[in-house]
């Protein structure tokens, strides 16, 4: 497994790095296209082609440590427990977890570890889908149920860019008051339509499902939906949210590389690096 940013950035010792990159090549419940297990390695390999300057600064100057990939064999509960422990280890060392998926179901373990360490946190979810089904295709650990599991933990969620969800998810949003800004509203009203509630936690975990981006920007995902965010819409929102709140960890999930189309690998790696640059 490669180090994030390749040879450009000598790997920092785990004890001194600010960013702890945790690859999780997990693929168990994907329900349409496949390939998320290949996502972390593709992102790491492409990251070696990134420029150190991200347009505003050099996030790598804060130190990047790339952990070994999480073992993704076994039952979902076993894999999630390993993800939770990998994130907890990064936190114990004073690092900020940067988790590379893998399918979205892994995010519940990230949220659990962050909440155990920081106390009250909120999840800012960039996604085409609400992921609020209680179960999907017979599993409560499905990638389509990950935000339901986080919601069940009592962790507040704010959803951005959603545009594909079922009646069960719509009804849960309404009944439980889960705040969101769908992609169509964002397109019609602009970036100012996205405002976190005043009482939303100061410490946030950003979970970025790569299908939040429009398929014209990022088709390399298992469940693409038209009408998503543009590159700069996503980047500007990330910058503003990280300026208003304290990001204590983030993930980029559901990237499924397409053989022969390395532009999408590079875009995913650039997104991760730019997200590092957003963190205060």
Secondary structure class of 169 (helix, strand, coil): helix
pLDDT in the model for residue 6: 82
pLDDT in the model for residue 1: 58
Asked whether 252 and 271 are in contact (CB, 8 A), the reply is: yes
Cα separation of 134 and 136, whole Å?
A: 7
Task: Name the helix (H) or strand (E) containing 37.
Answer: none
Q: Where are the domains of the chain?
A: 6-278
Statement: residue 125 has pLDDT above 80: yes
Cα separation of 251 and 21, whole Å?
A: 9
* 33 class by beta-carbon count within 10 Å (0-12 exposed, 13-18 middle, 19+ buried): middle
Edge to edge, the sheet with strand 96-101 lists 64-66, 19-24, 96-101, 246-253, 203-209, 122-126, 157-160, 180-181
Closest CA to 119 of 218, 196, 204, 27: 204
Per residue in 96-119, pLDDT (tens digit) is 999 999 999 999 999 999 999 999
* 215 class by beta-carbon count within 10 Å (0-12 exposed, 13-18 middle, 19+ buried): middle
pLDDT in the model for residue 7: 80
Asked whether 70 and 97 are in contact (CB, 8 A), the reply is: no
Per residue in 189-236, pLDDT (tens digit) is 999 999 999 999 999 999 999 999 999 999 999 999 999 999 999 999
CATH architecture, range 6-278: 3-Layer(aba) Sandwich (3.40)
């Amino acid at each position: 497994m490669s180090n994030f940013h390749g040879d450009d950035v000598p790997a920092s010792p785990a004890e001194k790095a600010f960013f702890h990159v945790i690859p999780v090549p997990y693929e168990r419940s994907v329900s349409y296209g496949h390939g998320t297990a290949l996502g972390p390695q593709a992102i790491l390999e492409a990251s070696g082609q990134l420029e150190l300057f991200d347009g505003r600064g050099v996030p790598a100057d804060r130190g990047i440590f790339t952990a070994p990939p999480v073992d993704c064999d076994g039952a979902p509960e076993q894999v999630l427990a390993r993800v939770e422990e990998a994130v907890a280890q990064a936190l114990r060392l004073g690092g900020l977890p940067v988790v590379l998926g893998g399918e979205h179901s892994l995010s519940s373990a990230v949220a659990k570890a962050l909440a155990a360490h920081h106390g009250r946190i909120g999840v800012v979810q960039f996604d085409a889908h609400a992921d609020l089904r209680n179960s999907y295709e017979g599993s409560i650990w499905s990638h389509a149920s990950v935000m339901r599991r986080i919601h069940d933990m009592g962790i507040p969620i704010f959803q951005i860019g959603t545009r594909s969800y079922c009646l069960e998810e719509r009804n849960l949003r309404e009944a439980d008051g889960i705040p969101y800004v769908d992609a169509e509203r964002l397109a019609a009203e602009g970036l100012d339509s996205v405002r976190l509630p005043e009482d939303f936690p100061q410490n946030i975990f950003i979970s970025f499902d790569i299908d939040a981006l429009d398929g014209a920007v990022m088709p390399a995902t298992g469940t693409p939906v038209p009408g998503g965010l543009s590159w700069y819409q996503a980047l500007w929102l990330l910058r503003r949210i990280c300026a208003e709140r304290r990001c204590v960890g983030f993930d980029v999930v559901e990237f499924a590389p397409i053989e022969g189309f390395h532009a999408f690998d590079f875009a995913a790696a650039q997104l991760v690096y730019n997200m590092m640059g957003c963190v205060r």
